[in-house]
Amino acid sequence: MGNSLDVKDIELQARGRWPSIFEALGIEVITDKKHHPCVLCGGTDRWRYTNLNGDGMYLCNQCGAGTGFSLVRKVFGLTFPETLEKVNNVLGGCSKMETEKKIDIAKVKEMLNKIWKESVPLTGSDPVSLYLHSRKLTLTPENIRYCPELYETDTKKHYPAMVAMVMNSKGIPVALHRTYLSRDVIGKADIESPKKLTPGTEPLSGCAIRLFPAKGDTLAVAEGIETSIACMQIFDIPTWACVSNTILEGFIVPEGIRKIIICSDNDANMVGQLSAYKLANRLYKADFLVDVRVPEVANSDWADTIL
C-alpha cells in the first residue's frame, strides 16, 4: 500500500476526538447536542451534534446526517482521500502506514524519549547546523537536536537527522519532527519523504515547535522549521513552527501573547494562505491583534527570501 492511509486506523484514532479535530480545522461546531444553525446550510435550529459512538455524528433536517469525516469533506469540498489526509494531519500523522498498528501512549513516550536522548545539541559544525547554514539560516534555535543515526521507515535504513520537539499549548512535549539528512552532501536525504512526524501522545491541535523563547507580547508562527527560522532572522520576532498548514490553523496562543504574526507560505494552490487567514480570522474574533505576512514571489516561503 506504500504511503497510502489506513482508513480503519484513522477512524480509530479520530474516535472521541472530533471536537478538538473540528477546532484545529477552524470548523465551529457546538457540541452540546442542542439544536443550532447547520454548519453547512445555515438555518436557525435544524442541526444537532449527536456524536454517536464518538464518530462526530450530526443530524440536519435539511442536508441530512453525517459523521465527522463527512462534515470535514463537505466544509472544505474535499475528496474522501483528501479528507483522510486532512484529519490524519491533525492527529499528528500517526495513522500513516509507517505505524501499521495503533501504538499505545506508553510506547510512544518511550520512543520519543529514546530518540531525544540519542540526539545531541547543535554545535555549529554538526550536520544539522551545516544544513541550516546551507539554507542561509544562521540562528541556532532551541528544541532542535542532531541525531547521528535515526531509523527511517520507508527505506528501512539509518540516516543522520534533525530532530525537533513538538509541544502542546501548555509547553508539554507530545511528538518529534524528523528531517533526514544525506551522508554524502549537505542537505536532505534523497528519499521520498525526508520529513516525518512521529506519532503523538495526543492530537497535535494547538501544537508547535517552540524554536525561540517568546518575548514580550508578540509571537510569530509559520509552517516549516526552516521557514520559521528565516522569519526570526527577517522580522526579529520569536517564531514557532507549526509543521503543517492544518496544524497551523488550530494554533493555540500561549498565555501573555496579545499579537500574532502569521508568516504564510505563498502557495500556488493557495493552501498556505487559506490556512493562515483561517487562523487569523479565528484569532481576530478572539480579540487578538493579528498580522498575516506573505512573501511576494509566487510558490515560495520566507526561507526562499533569505539573501
Q: What is the DSSP letter of 5?
A: B
Tell me the percentage of the chain whose pLDDT exceeds 90.
55
Q: How far apart are CA 260 and CA 276, in angstroms?
A: 11
- Consecutive H or E run containing 160: strand 157-167
Domains of the chain: 7-90 (3.90.580), 105-197 (no CATH), 218-305 (3.40.1360.10)
Q: Are 137 and 306 in contact (CB under 8 A)?
A: yes
pLDDT at 7: 81
Does 65 or 93 have the greater pLDDT score?
Answer: 65
Neighbouring CB atoms inside 10 A of 142's CB total: 14
Report which of 247, 221, 246 is spatially closest to residue 232, judged by C-alpha positions: 221
pLDDT at 95: 46
pLDDT at 93: 58
The pLDDT tens digits for 87-112 are 888 876 544 433 333 447 888 899 99
Q: What is the DSSP letter of 305?
A: G
**Is pTM, for the whole model, over 0.75?**
no
